[in-house]
């Protein structure tokens, strides 16, 4: 470790890895810091995206094996959770092979220091007793799970995403508190592995950041798999280590007996040991870094990326690919400072990896209304799609927000949307590209999809919409010409 670098990056999760590797590749001297060698890769690798997606993968295999018994094969025995968790650890290790300090030094010539960094001045930190300075620094320090508060909580061992992957026995009854993406993904995974699952959510619907119709469709599917939902509800108290009293807004009280409880209540921040005040870095009233839309803190030489950038005026997005977007913005502004770019989520997208997946992109109806942008909502059911029929997915749906029809219906552009379908996260990619590049819907209508690819729905929605709204004058003209 040197005493001065071009850039110091604190936190080696999705954000820190993106910023530090790119800046090093541009030939700058970079120091990347994380508290522990085993935290390199951050939440995504260690207790977020990777283990949760691996768990969902296994749970889907188990679910499909169970469905296959309809055709003759038999299935016996319970899922051995210890073996499932071993599979997850193996998958994490496969990624760790290229996300560790030695690899980063060997492959990227990147200096990595293990220890807790704390500011001692505007451009200087102390780590492991040594002071190191830099021209600029990037805080990629992530976020923490919001703690569950309820009377009697001290009797209960509350799991979070940081501890649930250490379980070795399948819970008989898993109580999930919080109905956001983390809670809903885990609820389905454990239900499919064999647990009874109850979800308690504060809002009136699951996945409240999605359009209401998408939340309702997913909830119906999950309820069909046996997940119990208590919505508009909160844990009032724990009367012992395995009993929760749940109060629903309509006044009803439910007693839920559980052997494990998982809290998935959103994110919070802990800047207790980093001494932000020594660098003049301020927090906002929600305890987030106070940032501008260039992701600059109140210290002009210190920036933030990833979950730590949640205080940006553009809004909160806690995703690995948001970290990559922030990293790309910061890097662009470092290397082309005359064109200061601002953070925008106008073409952002995300996927909740349940089965069916929920994939959302672009501007929401609420954002369009706030910006006074006129739009139509076009709903498309997959019920007549041959691929959906043969795979029994006719329930799937999408809702696209599109410019109002003008003189040429094929020139309309897609402003945003949501799809609830198996593999929606993959199917929606060409819609995202069209949205980002401003392609008109003629791009879909003019494309021939190999039959029966699932993504043909991206054409069918427009063929149906245009086909059922051909203006009378056009029909008359066609008849006359024919
Ligand atoms: C269960 C779960 C599932 C998820 N699934 C997905 C998904 O499927 N797709 C998706 O896009 N996103 C998903 N996310 C969100 C995603 O994991 C996070 O948005 C992302 O990991 C944040 O990356 P980050 O680099 O900002 O922070 P982190 O990954 O939290 O990294 C921050 C790092 O900073 C280090 N650090 C903090 N302070 C200091 C200090 N003072 N000194 C040294 N080091 C420090 C920490 O040790 C940590 O390693 C999921 C999250 C959870 C909880
Ligand atoms: N597939 C993915 O990309 C994925 C998966 C998991 C998590 N994540 C990310 O991680 C972040 C954290 O996930 P999350 O689901 O914990 O956060 P979240 O903020 O999205 O959802 C938490 C939910 O819990 C509810 N809640 C809060 N306190 C409660 C209480 N006391 N009782 C009942 N409900 C309560 C909130 O109203 C909210 O709906 C998310 O913002 C998401 O971006 C992404």
DSSP per-residue codes, 44-89: HHHTSHHHHHHHHHHHHHHHHHHHHGGGS----S---HHHHHHHHH
Lowest-pLDDT range of 19-33, 54-68, 227-241, 396-410:
396-410
Q: What is residue 180's DSSP assignment? A: S
Rounded CA gap, 219 and 205, in Å?
Answer: 8
**pLDDT, the chain, mean:** 97
Query: Domains of the chain: which residue ranges?
Result: 4-145+268-339, 155-265, 349-470
Question: Ligand 2 centroid to 115 CA: how many Å?
Answer: 29
Assign 278 a pLDDT band (cuts: 50, 70, 90). very high
Q: Which residues line ligand 2 (CB under 6 A)?
A: 177-183, 185, 200-203, 208, 234, 264-267, 318-319, 350-353
Sequence-separated (6 or more) residues with CB below 8 Å from residue 12: 20, 32, 33, 34, 39, 40, 41, 42, 112, 140
pTM > 0.80: yes or no: yes
Q: What is the pLDDT of residues 39-66, one digit of tens each?
A: 999 999 999 999 999 999 999 999 999 9
Question: CA angle, 62 as apex, 187 and 180 as ends, to 5°?
Answer: 15
Q: Report CA Rg, the chain.
A: 25
As a whole number of angstroms, the distance between CA 450 and CA 468 comes to 24
- What separation in Å is there between the alpha carbon of 111 and the centre of ligand 1? 20
405 pLDDT higher than 90 = no
Residues present in the chain in total: 482
Residue 341 to residues 344, 346, 375, Cα–Cα distance (Å): 9, 14, 27
Coil, helix or strand for 371?
coil
**Cβ–Cβ contacts within 10 Å for residue 457, how many?**
26
Enter the CATH code of domain 349-470. 3.30.390.30
Amino acid 281: pLDDT: 98
Span 16-28, mean pLDDT? 97
Q: Which two tokens stand for residue 258?
A: 């559980």
Provide residues with CB under 6 Å of ligand 1: 10-16, 33-35, 39, 42-44, 48-49, 52-53, 116-117, 140-142, 161, 182, 274, 306-308, 318-321, 323, 353
Instruction: Rounding to the nearest 10 degrees, give the CA dihedral for residues 42, 45, 46, 48.
Output: 90
Which pLDDT belongs to residue 337? 80
Could you report the per-residue pLDDT of 332-349, keeping only the tens digit for each? 999 988 888 999 999 999
The pairs formed by 215-219 with CB atoms below 8 angstroms and a separation of 24 or more are 217/356, 217/395, 217/397, 217/420, 218/184, 218/352, 218/354, 218/356, 218/358, 218/420
Of 413, 411, 340, 415, which Cα lies nearest the Cα of 371? 415
Structural tokens at position 30: 């970079």
Per CATH, is 155-265 categorized as 3.40.50.150?
no
266 is in an annotated binding site: yes
d(CA 200, CA 176) in angstroms, rounded, equals 6
Ligand 2 nearest-atom number relative to CA 184: 15
- Under the banding of pLDDT at 50, 70 and 90, the label for residue 471 is confident
Q: What is the mean pLDDT of residues 304-316?
A: 98
Q: Do the domains at 155-265 and 349-470 have one common CATH topology? A: no
Q: To test the ligand 2 pocket, which listed residue (178, 325, 424) has its Cβ within 8 A of the most ligand atoms?
A: 178
Q: How many Cβ atoms from other residues are within 10 Å of residue 103's Cβ? A: 15
CA 115 to chain centre: 28
Please tell me the CATH code under which domain 4-145+268-339 is placed: 3.50.50.60
pLDDT band of residue 465 (cuts 50, 70, 90) is: very high
The answer on whether 128 is annotated among ligand-binding residues is: no
- Start-to-end CA distance of the chain, whole Å, equals 79
Is 183 annotated to bind a ligand? Reply is: yes
Q: How far is ligand 1, taken at its centre, from the CA of residue 99, in Å?
A: 14
Are 235 and 245 spatial neighbours (Cβ–Cβ below 8 Å)? Answer: yes
Nearest CA to 233 out of 222, 248, 219 is that of: 248
């Amino acid at each position: 470790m040197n005493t001065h670098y071009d850039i110091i990056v604190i936190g080696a999760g999705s954000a820190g890895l993106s910023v530090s590797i790119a800046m090093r590749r541009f030939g700058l001297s970079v120091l990347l810091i994380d508290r522990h060698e085993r935290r390199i890769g951050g939440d995504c690798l260690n207790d977020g995206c990777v283990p949760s997606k691996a768990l969902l993968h296994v749970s889907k295999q188990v679910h499909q094996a169970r469905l296959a018994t309809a055709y003759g094969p038999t299935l016996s025995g319970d899922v051995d959770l210890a073996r499932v968790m071993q599979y997850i650890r193996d998958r994490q290790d496969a990624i760790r092979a290229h996300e560790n300090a030695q690899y980063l030094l060997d492959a990227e010539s990147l200096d990595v220091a293990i220890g807790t960094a704390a500011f001692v001045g505007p451009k200087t930190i102390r780590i492991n007793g040594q002071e190191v300075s830099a021209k600029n620094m990037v805080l990629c320090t992530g976020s923490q799970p919001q703690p569950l508060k309820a009377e009697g909580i001290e009797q209960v061992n509350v799991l979070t995403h940081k501890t649930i992957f250490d379980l070795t026995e399948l819970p008989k009854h898993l109580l999930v508190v919080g109905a956001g993406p983390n809670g809903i993904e885990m609820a389905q995974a454990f239900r499919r592995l064999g647990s009874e699952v109850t979800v308690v959510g504060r809002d009136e619907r699951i996945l409240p950041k999605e359009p209401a119709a998408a939340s309702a469709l997913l909830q119906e599917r999950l309820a069909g798999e046996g997940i119990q939902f208590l919505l508009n509800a909160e844990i009032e108290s724990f009367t012992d280590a395995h009993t929760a009293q749940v109060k629903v807004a309509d006044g009803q009280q439910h007693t839920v007996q559980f052997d494990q409880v998982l809290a998935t209540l959103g994110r919070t921040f802990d800047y207790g040991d980093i001494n932000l005040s020594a660098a003049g870095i301020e927090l906002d009233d929600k305890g987030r870094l106070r940032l501008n839309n260039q992701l600059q803190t109140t210290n002009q030489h210190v920036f933030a990326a990833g979950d730590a950038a949640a205080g940006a005026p553009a809004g909160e997005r806690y995703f690995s690919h948001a970290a990559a977007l922030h990293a790309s913005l910061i890097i662009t502004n470092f290397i082309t400072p005359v064109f200061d770019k601002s953070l925008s989520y106008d073409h952002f997208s995300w996927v909740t990896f349940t089965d069916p997946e929920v994939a959302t992109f672009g501007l929401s109806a609420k954002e369009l209304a706030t910006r006074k942008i006129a739009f139509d909502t076009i709903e498309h059911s997959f019920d007549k799609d041959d691929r959906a029929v043969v795979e029994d997915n006719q329930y799937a749906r999408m809702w696209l927000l599109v410019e109002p029809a003008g003189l040429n219906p094929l020139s309309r552009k897609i402003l945003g949307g949501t799809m609830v379908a198996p593999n929606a996260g993959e199917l929606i990619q060409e819609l995202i590209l069209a949205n980002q590049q401003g392609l008109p819907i003629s791009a879909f209508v003019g494309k021939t999809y190999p039959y029966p690819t699932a993504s043909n729905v991206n054409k069918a929605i427009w063929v149906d919409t245009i086909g059922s709204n051909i203006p009378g004058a056009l029909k008359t003209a066609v008849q006359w010409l024919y």
